[in-house]
Amino acid sequence: MVSRSPFEPTPDDPASDDDPLDRYLDGWARLNASMRRGESWSGGERNAAFLSSGPPRPGAPFDLADVAPVLGLDHPDDGRSAARIDVDFDGDDDLVVSSRTGPRVRVLANRLADGAANIAVRLVGTESNREAAGAVVFATPVASEDSVPEEFIEGVTQRRSRTIGSGYLGQSSAWLRFAFGAYASGDLAARARSLRVHLVVRWPGGDVEDFGVVRARRRYVLTQGTGAARESSTPPALLHAPAALPDAPEPDGRRRVVLPATTSFPSLLTRSRGGRAARLFGITPRGPRGIGRPVVVIGWDSADPDAIEAIGDIPALVAEAEEAGVALVAMDLAAVNTGPPDPLELGATRLAAAGWRGEVFGATASSAAILPELVGWRLDRTEPPPGPWSLVVEGDGRLAMIRTGAWREGDLAADVELLSSSEDRRASVSTPYPGLWANPPGIPEFTRFRSRLERRGLSDAVRELNLARVTTPSIASAEVQIRVGRALLGRGDLEGALARFDGALEAEPENVLAHRARAYTLHLLERYAEALAAWNEALRLDPDDTDTRGNRALAAVAAGELDVAREDLTAVAAAAGEDAPITVAVRRALALALRDGGDDGEGDGGDE
């Protein structure tokens, strides 16, 4: 496969600037767009099949000819692997070809060798590996059992190697096949019946074993050490009966696109029914702006007489939103014109009659321009599809999904369930080819979106979008939260650091690094009982970490839990040594606590 370079600009859409990161991310955006549209990564380059012209003459180059066009193998699909297997048990190899585009699997039946003399051999290792990987079978056609040659005959003896793995995620059949179409006289069928073949195997390790002469048009199992070919029955031939394809459903415009990484986006300026301005979402220097719970924003056009029906099952949507605690917002794109009569009032009345119980806002000129560009950008389209469009926004103000077409019962419940699932599952659902998403995880690409906004003259939105470049990883990820928390800790902002570590544990409750950082911060805040509980959690997740156990001992001393500190001191001393810094620190803290507190228990503080 020859893939297009992610750095290669195209004449109709050059890179917006010379920033290597922008060019890199723009290249990935192009590859992702191609994948979602089912286009070829290889530019439609056709598959090739090379045929050798035979052993080269002395001094002549090895000659290969591409015969794919005449064999019907030159498909323009993005080919991935080709496996050889006798699918119809007629004695010759057929091909099973997998592709990323086009039909995902093609079965190509071999009709060129029908009726030719052939044999199939399966190897079974006993002294070598069971599958006999690395063995080589030599097959020499002979006139009779009495005419076995002493050596292999150049240009006549054929060889096949037993290999494991024959392509990308592909494996050819373990049966090795030999065809003999030019040895013996008479017609094809007579030659096939009369031909005999001498079989020799060189097993892994170098041992050579002679399996004698066998008849053609048979299948044989060759077991290492037996010296005899055991004939195997041929399974009944498969019948390939074409079946009619099911009728494709009528397109209804419904589509859910789950983003591989949640995306910040500029503010949507709106007006309420009372005429007051409102700002939805947006990007600030501290990150995106959310309301703390998921929001569904439906962009619709009240001037369209079919708009209410196009939104779908509004009562079901409202009921599922109320049950899941999701806020609903209807943004009327027709309300840019303020009337009279005011389109926003008319649209709100129509929505209420249909069962809507969410917020109703009117779009300003800027938000009416941003919304279609946002939808078009995330759907990889020059122009967005017909409305309504629905944005599913995380509680932190990041876009997670886009829906087009009508809502149906169960849609929002499915979205909410996916929002609460793992990042791996969401990434898998985000692509039509599960597991093959090309975008670097967690890094949204803004170059194209910025260009779209610039063409609209939306300079304020562009400046706001540029703020997202410093916060491209999801702020909800534990790794990012821990990094930010450590930075705040280094600046002495203990409360801010603790909030970040708490956020990391909300994202990943079993993250041991977050538990350790949180315990350390609580200790610095002199919240010793809470610190001890946090160290207990860290130790539960990693019971063999000596530093964690030593820190728990220090927290236990500060919290007055001296029995816990004594047990930890014994364990730390055994693991790290009596003179290790952590051992000395715990012993000194315990000794001071015993001296100051007058504890009567048997301490291990010595004279320190």
| pLDDT 10s digits, 311-365 | 999 999 999 999 999 999 999 999 887 767 888 889 999 999 999 999 999 999 9
- In this prediction, residue 2 carries a pLDDT of 35
Burial of 509 (0-12, 13-18, 19+ CB in 10 A): exposed
**Contact, 299 vs 312, CB < 8 A?**
no
- Residues 6 or more apart from 175 whose CB is under 8 A from it? 85, 86, 120, 121, 122, 219
Cα separation, 104 vs 100, whole angstroms: 6
User: What are 144's two structure tokens?
Assistant: 């009779």
**Contact, 393 vs 281, CB < 8 A?**
yes
- Residues 6 or more apart from 498 whose CB is under 8 A from it? 485, 518, 521, 522, 525
- In this prediction, residue 174 carries a pLDDT of 93
pLDDT: is 437 or 531 the higher one?
Answer: 531
Res. 432: pLDDT tops 60 = no
- pTM for the predicted model, two decimal places: 0.48
pLDDT: is 553 or 53 the higher one?
Answer: 553
- In this prediction, residue 519 carries a pLDDT of 93
Res. 6: pLDDT tops 80 = no
Q: How confident is the model at residue 143 (pLDDT cuts 50, 70, 90)?
A: confident
Q: What is the tens place of the pLDDT at every residue in 93-118?
A: 899 988 877 677 888 888 877 777 88
What 3 state SS string does 380-425 have? CCCCCCCCCEEEEECCCCCEEEEEECCECCCHHHHHHHHHCCCHHH
Distances (CA, A) of 492 to 367, 498, 505, 524: 40, 11, 21, 10
Q: How confident is the model at residue 244 (pLDDT cuts 50, 70, 90)?
A: low
Selection from 294, 307, 262, 304 nearest residue 405 by Cα? 307
What percent of the chain is predicted at pLDDT more than 90? 38
- Computed on alpha carbons and rounded to an integer, the radius of gyration of the chain in Å comes to 36
Q: How confident is the model at residue 199 (pLDDT cuts 50, 70, 90)?
A: very high
Distances (CA, A) of 540 to 390, 516, 549, 575: 43, 11, 10, 17
Q: What is the tens place of the pLDDT at every residue in 535-580?
A: 999 999 888 888 899 999 999 999 999 999 999 999 999 988 888 8
Res. 202: pLDDT tops 50 = yes
- In this prediction, residue 11 carries a pLDDT of 42
Res. 184: pLDDT tops 50 = no
pLDDT: is 53 or 598 the higher one?
Answer: 53
- In this prediction, residue 424 carries a pLDDT of 66
Q: How confident is the model at residue 608 (pLDDT cuts 50, 70, 90)?
A: very low
Res. 605: pLDDT tops 50 = no
H/E element, 260: strand 255-263
- Give mean pLDDT, residues 245-271: 77
- Give mean pLDDT, residues 303-318: 94
Number of residues assigned to the chain: 608
**Contact, 406 vs 254, CB < 8 A?**
yes
- In this prediction, residue 182 carries a pLDDT of 54
- In this prediction, residue 18 carries a pLDDT of 55
